[in-house]
Amino acid sequence: MEFTRRSGITALAAAPLLVALSACNRGGGEGGEDALDIALISKGFQHQFWQAVKKGAEEAAEEHGVTISFDGPAAETEIDSQLQMFQAAIDRAPDAICFAALDPEACVPLYDRAEGADIPIVEFDAGCDSDYSQNLAATDNKAAGAIAAEHLAEAIGGKGEIAIVAHSQINATSVDRRDGFVEYIEENNPDIAIVDIQYGDGDHLKSADVAKAMIGANDLVGMYGTNEGSAIGVVNAVKELGLSGEEIKVVGFDSGSAQQEAIRDGVMLGAVTQDPQSIGRLTVEAAISAVKGEDLEEFTDTGSYWYDADNIDDDEIQAMVYD
């Protein structure tokens, strides 16, 4: 119940008009006088991934006795509404701000303002083109894309046509996961041709239709989806066309119960998972260090891991995937 109600409050924050109001609510905080107040502004809150980041952040907050707030826009295209949340956070003057940039440029002026207000910033998931931030805790998405490429290449015996359904042309996570994958294939597998790369906005339905068109237009032996929605789209396309996981090898990204089920059923070869709870936890810990004035590394790789039917039930994997 608690979870649902909190989500409800966050859902209301989706309306830009209510952003300021929401920030006021949170400003009250639950912590005592001494507790540090840390504002996290994520790229979203609706996706399971962000819920897992939030969970990790909340656990770290409890462990270290700090108060956190967690806001994010309704969709990952709403750069403007994310900036308004950032501004509201600065106005509230917390001890530190943690930010996951939807756009690396649009946030620069607000970083200057935070610097003026002497509020330290640490970043998570994706950074801003500013020197003010002290640490970025994120998945090395290029390395993660390469992991996906390595396993797909091996599964198709190092030759044949493959295609990619990515979730955004702009978003850095999508671009890096795509490029990391493409670069690995180009360097190591000359007999594999990446015949098409298209974008489905991470929308399950749209990605399925994109994938079906690609399968129809080419003789694909493998496909790669760069996030949960893209990967499920590919899986649904393969299923709807009556193909099997043997005919087209599918590798995905992140988790969600549909993706886990597809891996267990053999429709999907496997997927790369990030460690969202670690992102949340390490971000809050970096923020605490920043407030204390400790030195921080520029980048913390929060890790990415391959999982398939063989290791999906291992404890380490189950700690990172979500339903």
Partner 1 sequence: MSSSENGAAVATEARAGGTTAAPSTPAWRAWLQQGLAFGTLIALLLFFWAASPRFLTWSNISGVLLATAVIGILALGTTFVITTAGIDLSIGTGMTLCSVMTGIFAVDLGLPMPLAVLLGILTGGVIGLLNGLNVAILGLPPFIATLAMMMIAQGLALVISGVSPIYFNDVPSFQSIALGTLIPGLPNAVLIMFLVAALAWFLLSKTIFGRITVAIGSNEEAARLSGIDTRRWKLIIYIVAGLFTGVAGVVMASRLGSAQPQLGVGYELQAIAAVIIGGTSLMGGRGSITGTLIGALIMSVLINGLRILSIQTEWQNVVVGIVIALAVFFDTLRNKRSA
Footprint of partner 1 on this chain (CB under 8 A)? Answer: 3-4, 7-8, 10-12, 14-15, 44-48, 51, 74-75, 77, 169, 195-196, 198-199, 201, 203-205, 208-210, 212-214, 216-218, 232, 236, 240-241, 256-258, 261, 323
Report DSSP letters for 105-118, one per residue: TTTHHHHHHHHHTT
Nearer Cβ to partner 1, position 75 or 309? 75
Nearer Cβ to partner 1, position 175 or 258? 258
Q: How far is the CB of 135 from partner 1 (least distance, A)?
A: 28
Q: How far is the CB of 240 from partner 1 (least distance, A)?
A: 7
Nearer Cβ to partner 1, position 313 or 323? 323
Nearest to 40 by CA among 75, 2, 86, 79: 86
Nearer Cβ to partner 1, position 74 or 143? 74
Nearer Cβ to partner 1, position 26 or 151? 26
Alpha-carbon torsion (16, 17, 19, 25), positive or negative: negative
CA distance 96 to 69: 11
Q: How far is the CB of 224 from partner 1 (least distance, A)?
A: 16
CA distance 104 to 85: 16
Nearer Cβ to partner 1, position 14 or 286? 14
CA distance 278 to 54: 10
Let me know: does 214 contact 220? Beta carbons within 8 Å: yes
Residues forming a β-bridge with 300: 137
CA distance 6 to 11: 9
Q: How far is the CB of 212 from partner 1 (least distance, A)?
A: 4
Residue 119's alpha-carbon distances to 88, 171, 239, in angstroms, are 13, 26, 50
Q: How far is the CB of 149 from partner 1 (least distance, A)?
A: 20
